[in-house]
Chains A and B, each alone.
Chain A
Amino acid sequence: MDLHQFSDWLSSTAFSQTIQTTTWAIPGIQTVHILSLSLLFASAVLLALRFAGLGLLAEPLASLAARKSRVIWLTLVVLVISGSLLIVAEPGRTVTNPVFYAKMVMLLMVVALTAWLTLAARRTEFRPGPLLVMGAVLTIALWIGIIFAGRLIAYYESY
Chain B
Amino acid sequence: MITSFLEWLQTTGLAVLVGESWFPYVESAHVVFLAAVAGTIFTVDARLMGLAARHLRLSYLSERLLPITWIAFAGAAVTGTMMFVANATTYASNTPFLIKMALLAGAGLNMLWFQLVTYRRVTEWDTGTPVAAARLAGFASMLLWTGVIGFGRWIGFV
Contacts from A to B (Cβ < 8 Å): 26-28, 30-31, 34-35, 37-43, 45-46, 55-56, 58-59, 67, 144, 147-148, 150-152, 154-155
Chain B nearest CB: distance from A55 CB in Å? 6
**B39 within 8 Å of A (CB atoms):** yes
Report yes or no: A41 in contact with B56, Cβ–Cβ below 8 A: no
Known interface pairs A147-B28, A147-B32, A151-B28. Does A34 touch B149 (Cβ–Cβ under 8 Å)?
Answer: yes
The secondary structure that dominates the B interface is helix
Q: B34 to A38, Cβ gap below 8 A?
A: yes
Among candidates A27, A56, A144, A151, residue contacting B27 with C-beta atoms closer than 8 Å: A151
B153: A residues at CB distance < 8 A: 27, 30-31, 34
Interface residues of B (CB under 8 A from A): 24-25, 27-29, 31-32, 34-40, 42-43, 52-53, 56, 60-61, 64-65, 68, 146, 149-150, 153-154, 157
User: With a CB–CB cut-off of 8 A, which chain A residues contact B146?
Assistant: 31, 35
Name the one of A31, A38, A154 contacting B39, with C-beta atoms under 8 angstroms: A38
Is the pair B38, A148 in contact by a Cβ cutoff of 8 Å? no
Q: Is the CB of B35 within 8 A of A42?
A: yes
> Which residues does chain A contribute within 8 Å of B60, judged by CB atoms?
58
Which among B28, B36, B43, B149 is the interface contact of A31 at CB below 8 angstroms?
B149
Q: A58-B56, A151-B24, A152-B24 are in contact. Are A38 and B154 (CB under 8 A)?
A: no
Partner of B24, one of A45, A59, A155: A155
- On whether the beta carbons of B31 and A151 are closer than 8 Å, the reply is yes
- Tell me which residues across on chain B come within 8 A of A31, comparing CB atoms: 146, 149-150, 153-154
Residues in chain B near residue A155, CB distance under 8 A: 24
A45 to B36, CA, bound (A): 8
Considering the chains assembled together, what is the distance between the CA atoms of A38 and B37 in angstroms?
A: 8
Q: Of all chain A residues, which has the CB nearest B68? A: A45
CB B48 to nearest CB in A, in angstroms, measures 15
**Within the complex, which residue of B39, B52, B64 is in contact with A55, where a contact is CB–CB below 8 Å?**
B64
Q: Which residues of A contact B157 (CB under 8 A)?
A: 26-27
Closest to B42 in A: A39
State whether A41 touches B39 (Cβ < 8 A): yes
Docked complex Cα distance between A60 and B148 (Å): 34
Which listed residue (A34, A35, A41, A152) contacts B28, Cβ 8 A? A152
**Shortest beta-carbon distance, B96 to chain A, in Å?**
9
Question: Once the chains bind, are A42 and B39 in contact (CB under 8 Å)?
Answer: yes
A37–B32 Cα gap in the complex (Å)? 9
**Bound complex: CA A46 to CA B41 (Å):** 13
Contacts of B52 in A (CB 8 A): 67
Partner among A35, A56, A151 whose Cβ is within 8 Å of the Cβ of B38 = A35
Tell me the bound Cα distance from A24 to B61 in angstroms: 36
Contact residues in A for B150 (Cβ distance below 8 Å): 27-28, 31
Q: In the bound complex, do residue A38 and residue B56 qualify as a contact, i.e. CB atoms below 8 Å apart? A: no
Q: Closest chain A residue to B96 by CB distance? A: A27
